[in-house]
Amino acid sequence: MDAVLSRVYPAFSISISYSNISTCENSLSQPIRPPLMARTYMHLLRATNSVGGDKIYPKHLKFAKRNREPQSRNSHPRKGSLNLPRKTDAVNLEVSPHRAVSAVRLMRIELGGAFADLLNEKGKGSGNNEMGYVERTLGFRTRDLDDRDLRLVTDIVGGTIRWRRYLDHLIMSLCHEENMFRGMEPLLLQILRIGFYEIVKLEMPPYAVVDENVRLAKAALRPGAGNLVNGILRKLVLLKEKNSLPLPKLEGNDRAQARVLAILYSHPVWMVRRWTKYLGQEEAIRLMMWNNSNPSFSLRANRRKGFTRDDLMMRLKTLKVPHEPSLHLDDFVRIGTGMQIVIQAGLLKEGLCSVQDESAGLVVSLVDPHPGETIIDCCAAPGGKTLFMASLLSQKGMVSAIDVNNGRLRILKETAKLQGVDDVITFIHADLRIFSEKNPVKSDKVLLDAPCSGLGVLSKRPDLRWNKKLEDMEQLKNLQDDLLNAAAL
């Protein structure tokens, strides 16, 4: 438990026992749900402290001593887990389902390390699988998502991640004090971020946004959390109506301006400093605006299953998903919106198509696989290029897929079977730098797509900006050099 709290709240060092938490729960008129017991207890301690208390909870709460009662082995969630005990089988019809799903997705991404798109070649992370996460995390179920809800989830999650720094600056500015923001429990912070994004960036009807997010906070946390959300969001609405959002001015020296730009365009300060240094401020701003724009995606029709681009476009037309054929690749189709609809339709699960960027497809076109050739893909996972090359071999030849990550390689193997190309792929779990020295292999062609910073795809992977550090760049350079030397052996 202490490990969890020190990770989420590094500024605090406290010791918590489950017996104390149970006592806290009995002291409140509304029970504290298991997902947030520990974090709520910390807030209660802060509320009774005369220094730095945020005064959200009453100061008169008493914590009686009680011996710890025997607990069953599975009575409490695992440390750091979002898979928490379900509270009830009843469906909560008062809570907006797309906001509940968005809040849980954001929790999984920020605390659980999930990818922002939450899907792989099979489309996992959506539908019933994800609603299970919602139920276990929030303690209740919502109604199922319809197509409109799915689009809103995609927009809200992606946008909230992109604008996280900007939104956090506004939230912090409207809190009574900075410590209140710093100590805010994760789910409450995600609900506020969603509300701020909907009001400021999506320009949804403000008072409807306030009402819906207050309901979510009360249902998922407690009434006091709903009151806090209500107060802060109403402050935001008034400031937005007066066109006086508390944003910093672009002034001072280069370092000061970089910090301001990092807030205004929601990027890490080190990225802003790097780009303004090498590109100039104007180009850096254009780049950040591009990173914050809504991305388009590409789908590749799987010709191995006899599914052509024309077939794919016909299915997309039936699903009413806007699309257009790629200008450069025969098997690819571009879509701007509607990815969740494609997933729900089962096109990915059936292996008829896959999500693949055109830039990756162009790399495969340079390799130009022909039936009967042997090809080595040196850093294969997650495997989009491996699968595309295999589909072009017409069941003649072999692609050797090498990767150091056995888990990702296992997923690639499952996806290859799903797409019907596993018979022309050999899966090799190895570090290329060691494997190439001990296993000299001859092949017709070698493809090395070495690990990179990912800074060129921030519009499609907005979470990457918050997971990268400046020191990663130098480490990547050295790794790329080593892999290139190994691939050349």
Q: What is the pLDDT of residues 264-296, one digit of tens each?
A: 999 999 999 999 999 999 999 999 999 999 888
Q: What is the mean pLDDT of residues 437-445?
A: 88
Which residues, at least 6 apart from 471, have a Cβ–Cβ distance to it below 8 Å?
A: none
Q: What is the pLDDT of residues 155-169, one digit of tens each?
A: 999 999 999 999 999
**Topology (CATH level 3) of domain 367-487:** Rossmann fold (3.40.50)
% of residues, the chain, pLDDT over 90: 62
- Please give the Cα distance from 473 to 120 (Å, whole number): 26
Nearest to 34 by CA among 69, 72, 86, 97: 86
* Token pair belonging to 250: 């672009």
Q: Can you say which residues are annotated as belonging to the binding site?
A: 379-385, 403, 431, 449
Q: Can you say which residues are annotated as belonging to the binding site for S-adenosyl-L-methionine?
A: 379-385, 403, 431, 449
Residue with the two structure tokens 């060129």 = 456
- Please give the Cα distance from 96 to 119 (Å, whole number): 23
Q: Say if residue 386's pLDDT is above 70.
A: yes
In the prediction, which pLDDT does 131 show? 75
Q: Say if residue 300's pLDDT is above 90.
A: yes
The pTM of the full predicted model, rounded to 2 decimals, is: 0.74
In the prediction, which pLDDT does 136 show? 86
Domain ranges of the chain: 254-291, 297-355, 367-487
- To the nearest whole number, what is the mean pLDDT of the chain? 82
Domain 297-355 listed as CATH 3.30.70.260? no
Q: Say if residue 236's pLDDT is above 90.
A: yes
Q: Say if residue 224's pLDDT is above 70.
A: yes
Q: Say if residue 10's pLDDT is above 60.
A: no
- Please give the Cα distance from 389 to 421 (Å, whole number): 10
In the prediction, which pLDDT does 188 show? 97
- Please give the Cα distance from 266 to 196 (Å, whole number): 14
Query: What does the DSSP 8-state code read for residue 34?
Result: G
In the prediction, which pLDDT does 340 show? 82
